Amino acid sequence: MPNSQLSTLLPGEHASAVPAFVAYAVAVRDLAATRKRLHDNGFSVGRTDSGDIFVPAASALGAAIIFREASQVRR
């Protein structure tokens, strides 16, 4: 995806260089529990337009981590 559209998918994110590895997704069983665990452990958590949550790249060693409920993952 072009850098100009990245903030549409992940609000507040931008690629420091192009091309770049800027994010990856992880399927989780319970999105609400994941959000709470992340928050309780000091991570800032964003929300995508599709309802997924993510830890910004600045807090996750350079690549945003998207968390998606497993029931929403296409197989």
Q: Determine the Cα–Cα distance for residues 21 and 54; give it in Å rounded to an integer.
A: 15
For residue 38, give the 3-state DSSP assignment: helix
| Residue 15 contacts residue 6 (beta carbons within 8 Å) | yes
Q: Which residue would you say has higher pLDDT here, 42 or 22?
A: 42
pLDDT, tens only, 27-73: 999 999 999 999 999 999 999 988 999 999 989 888 899 999 988 66
Report the pLDDT averaged over residues 1-14.
Answer: 76
